[in-house]
Every structure is written in C-alpha cells, then in structure tokens.
Amino acid sequence: MTWRHLYLEALERLADRQAAQWFVEEASGGTWPSVLDEPVPGRADGAFRSMLARRETGEPVQYVLGHWAFRHLDLMVDRRVLIPRPETEVVVEVALGELARLSGPRLVADLGTGSGAIALAIATECAGAEVWATDVSEDALAVASANLAGLGTVAAGKARLVQGSWWHALPRALKGTLDLVVANPPYIAENEVESLPFEVSRWEPLQALVAGPSGLEALRAITVDAPAWLGARSALVAEIAPHQDRAAVDLAYSAGFAEAFVKPDLTGRPRVLVARRGG
C-alpha cells in the first residue's frame, strides 16, 4: 500500500483535499507530492487512520495534527489552548509596531498567553524584548512551556512564564515599568456561545473564549489596571470582537489612556485595540 492509497481514502472519507494532504505529510514525514508513491510502514498506517478517525468526529485539523503555524513559528497545540488564528497574527504585527516607537530594551507582558503564540512571536521578532507571559491555566502554561522550550536556549531566555489571573501573576517590581501589554483575552458573551461554530464550541477551551455576560469582562479587568503597570510612552494592545470597537475605546479612555483607537484585521473588520499612555 502506498501513501496515494491512503490519501484517496482520506479524500473519500473527509471530502477535504487539504486535510488529506496534511495528514499524509504528518504521518509519513515526507514531502508532498513526492511521498505519494512510497510504501506505507505499518506503524504510520495506524497513525494515519487514527488522524482520520479523530477528524471524522469533528475535531479540528490543528488539534489532530498537534501543531500549527503562527507567523514564523510552528506551535504545539491541543485542546488545552486556543488554535492560533490569523487575527492574532495581526495583533502581533500591531504590537511590534508599538514597540518600534521605543529605543533600547523593551519590557513586555502578554496576559493570558495560552499556547504562547503572541509572547513567543514578540520574543523572537523584536530584538531586545523581554516578555513575561501569564496564564491562569496550568494546562495552558504546560503547552506554552513546551513551545518555549522548542525555541532553543537563546530565544527561550527572552521569555518567562508565570501563573495567575491577569495582573496578579506579575511580580510587583514590574509595576510602572512595562513598555507594552498585549493580550488576546476572552471576548465572547455568554449568550453568543450557541452561535459559535461547532468545532470551536465543542473542542476549544471555553474559558479562553467566554468572558461573561457582556463579553467585555476580561478586557475591562486588563484595561482598568493597565496604566498603573505601564511606563511612559507605553501601550496596551488587545484583540477584541469587531462589534466591541467603540466600547473598547471607551474603556481605554475611562482607564486614563491619552489615546485609543482600533485597527482592522486582514478582512478589514475592527480587531485590535491600541491604547497609549502618551508621550
């Protein structure tokens, strides 16, 4: 039996060419399409069929593969963390732009780091950045720790992981010194859960998605205390739901930020809150 046989089987069962190709590449360790006519080892056959069975239950492709691309990183992902998305890549791009306004070392906090996607992207893409990444979930921090270890000692030395809820996780010595706070907090309202795609509501961790009755609870908790933790010319960058743009800006001004606005995602929808202290 060759990988072509298994690819055709996957195509018939899943009706998804891209997923079938990814599963062949993952199970074979080979390159598409040159691997197609190679024989399938017995153990690889079992791994491939296991992936097919998992996908047929509705499990997201990213969890089935066990890893997913985020900017230049290849991150381990499973059901303990959210799947990294293109919208969050835009958050990193905006955050890097805010850091570019500064000179010298930059001190960054990523609140609610999940898989570590934002923190590790900033740590590896911004020279001189030191990133503190927090999460209340031990499970999420275990995934982030694995991803941090995968960067190697030099890059890994630029990021630290700490457990706790939002600001409570950070050492008090950092108060008033941060150059940037970045976050992708939960922003789904409780009454919006039923409208989420099945793959999201059934498989991804709801505690990382649902903020509370309004959907703004997590953003409010972060924004209210942010000025006390930020230094001069610093900023808060946070992912939001598109319909929250006006409320997010109002929260920032109410917290004492000098300037606040929302930048669009790749589809043009309001997505990234930027709040600056001024200077």
Q: What is the CATH number of the domain that holds 201?
A: 3.40.50.150
Dihedral angle over CA of 95, 100, 106, 112, nearest 10? 0
Q: Is residue 72 part of a domain?
A: no
Q: Are residue 18 and residue 119 in the same domain, yes or no?
A: no
Contact of 232 with 279, CB cutoff 8 Å: yes
Contact of 272 with 91, CB cutoff 8 Å: yes
Q: Is pLDDT above 80 for 153?
A: no
Q: Are residue 134 and residue 11 in the same domain, yes or no?
A: no
pLDDT digits (tens, 9 = 90+) for 197-224: 999 999 999 999 999 999 999 999 999 9
Q: Is residue 71 part of a domain?
A: no
pLDDT digits (tens, 9 = 90+) for 89-104: 999 999 999 999 988 8
Q: Are residue 90 and residue 144 in the same domain, yes or no?
A: yes
pLDDT digits (tens, 9 = 90+) for 9-30: 999 999 999 999 999 999 999 9
Number of domains in the chain: 2
DSSP 8-state code for residue 41: P
Q: Is residue 65 part of a domain?
A: no
Contact of 122 with 108, CB cutoff 8 Å: yes
The residue-averaged pLDDT of 225-244 equals 97
Q: Is pLDDT above 70 for 279?
A: no
Q: Is pLDDT above 90 for 112?
A: yes
Q: Are residue 52 and residue 95 in the same domain, yes or no?
A: no
Residue 119 in 3-state DSSP?
helix
Range of the domain at 97: 82-276
Q: Are residue 96 and residue 210 in the same domain, yes or no?
A: yes
Any bridge partners for residue 188, and if so which?
A: 210
Q: Is residue 94 part of a domain?
A: yes
Amino acid at 83: I
Amino acid at 247: A
Q: 156 pLDDT band (50/70/90 cuts)?
A: confident
Q: Is residue 74 part of a domain?
A: no
Q: Are residue 220 and residue 90 in the same domain, yes or no?
A: yes
Q: Is residue 69 part of a domain?
A: no
What is the reported pTM?
0.96
Q: 155 pLDDT band (50/70/90 cuts)?
A: confident
The residue-averaged pLDDT of 153-177 equals 93
Residue 166: its pLDDT value, please? 97
Q: Is residue 33 part of a domain?
A: yes
Q: Are residue 119 and residue 216 in the same domain, yes or no?
A: yes
Looking at 41, 57, 73, which one is the last position of a domain? Answer: 57
CB burial of 51-64 (b: ≥16 within 10 Å; e: otherwise) equals bbebbeeebbbbbb
Helix (H) or strand (E) holding 69: strand 67-70
